[in-house]
Amino acid sequence: MSNGTSSPGERTALLSESRSFQGLSPHPQTEHGDHHHHPKDNRVWVQWPRTVMRLAWLTMVRDYVNVFLIFAPLGIIAGALHWDSTAVFVLNFLAIIPLASMLSFATEELAATMGQALGGLMNATFGNAVELIVSIIALKGNQIRVVQASMLGSILSNILLVLGCCFFVGGLRYSEQTFNSTVASTMSSLMAVASASLIIPATLYAVLSQSNQNAQANILILSHGTAIILLILYVMYLYFQLRSHAQLFEEANSDIENTTGAEEEGEERLLSPWAATVVLVIVTILVAICADYLVGSIDSLVQKTGMSKTFIGLVLIPIVGNAAEHVTAVVVAYKDKMDLAIGVAIGSSLQIALFVTPFLVVLGWVMNIEMTLHFQLFETVAFFISGLVVTLLIQDGKSNYLEGGMCLGMYLILALAFYIYPDGVGEGVGEGVGILSKLLN
């Protein structure tokens, strides 16, 4: 160095050196009397905490929903100290909403570095992680009614509440919106198969209950076999979407990329793969803890408030797990990206129907818990009618606010019906089974 200046090569060397984590390696210094100052301290034990704090702050401030993160420690404390069951439920209910949002964000950050196939599989696997964690904990506690209700509730909230909000909000801004009818019809066909997988066990149980056959044992065999078949169909659907017929979904993806390309140009991912993995692990652990306390407080909450487990699992828990996805779908629908909105709404329902629910049946099989696909008659009929309504609405590839109002009205009717629907109805050979038997005969 001469005359206080440096050559371009020297400046480049210094710059690259200052960006690396070299610990005690030489770094730029400025003399101030009898001591020297470090313009940028590169020591690992200084740089790493600073980087972690910066990334944690950027991750938390990216979404307004993260304001509710304050309820995560409160919910855990409430559960650990055995506070009132209502307080435990409400605090952990509010805590899981931002945790679900962060889980979705970390999954997207990690999936973006894996390519289309692995990224799609990653999003599909973790897209309903909250519902899966809550259901596994409920299944472990032998809360089969809660598991079945939360699975059905997640499907209904996606295909009626979310899709209805998308159609309604988008219809207020545009007189008519269009989307890929081929993709929509493929999804609705798969939903029909999933609906049939619940109708068949219900009708078979009605027939067997009138004979001397062991109905529960036979339904268990049917459920295990059906669950395996549905998982195979789900793998086929993923391959269909991501590989063999990816061109059907490319039109929607290209539209999204064209509208957001200017915003994303030059923008880097916030989290590296390692950082996203760490966030994914930490948030998953927090969700599991909060879900454990949430499920554990349900029995006391039912006794205290009079609400049924069916209503809690079918209406309240799905709101927690799908809150982030609900907001995303409505926002993109307002921006006239209906293919993406339908992909979020119906795609999430397919993940629940073809992956999460069969997986829980197989997991119950492994854990020696009688988790079956035999839902109660009223729930099965509600699922079938909801799927039929959605299929009729999306088959033309167009939507408006009236169709959105129909979906929302249907969801409110079902929510009201399940609110007054008691837990003990239909578990045995009751009136519902008798009515179905008369219809079959």
Distance of CA 421 to the CA centre of its chain: 26
pLDDT in tens, 226-279: 999 999 998 888 888 777 777 776 655 554 444 444 444 434 567 777 888 888
Residue 20 lies in a domain: no
| Count of residues making up the chain | 441
Helices 317-334/163-173 angle, 10° precision:
30
End-to-end Cα spacing for the chain: 98
CATH number for the domain harbouring residue 98: 1.20.1420.30
Any domain includes 8: no
Lowest model confidence (mean pLDDT) among 72-86, 179-193, 386-400: 179-193
Our measurement of the distance from residue 105's CA atom to the centroid of its chain's CA atoms, rounded to an integer in Å, reads 11
Rounded CA-CA distance 44/98 in Å is 31
Residue 331: alpha-carbon gap to chain centroid: 17
- What's the CA gap between 234 and 124, in Å, rounded? 10
- Does residue 16 belong to any structural domain of this protein? no
Q: Is residue 276 part of a domain?
A: yes
Q: Is residue 70 part of a domain?
A: yes
The Cβ of residue 424 has, within 10 Å, a number of other Cβ atoms equal to 9
Q: Is residue 191 part of a domain?
A: yes
Does the pLDDT at position 342 exceed 50?
yes
Q: Are 297 and 85 in contact (CB under 8 A)?
A: yes
Distance CA 126, CA 108 (A): 9
Q: Count the Cβ atoms, other than its own, within 10 Å of residue 102.
A: 24
Per-residue pLDDT tens over the stretch 128-170: 777 888 888 888 888 888 888 888 888 888 889 889 999 999 9
- Give the separation between CA 39 and CA 385, rounded to whole angstroms: 67
3-state secondary structure at position 308: coil
Residue 261: the pLDDT is: 44
pLDDT of 189 strictly over 90? no
What is the spatial distance between Cα 227 and Cα 197, in angstroms, rounded to a whole number?
A: 9
Domain count, the chain: 1
Q: Is the pLDDT of residue 25 over 50?
A: no
Band (118; pLDDT cuts 50, 70, 90): low
Instruction: Provide the domain limits for residue 320.
Output: 63-261+271-422
The answer to whether residue 4 is domain-embedded is no
Assess if residue 32 is contained within a domain.
no
pTM of the model: 0.73
Task: Supply the angle between the helices 357-366 and 215-239 in degrees, to the nearest 10.
Answer: 130
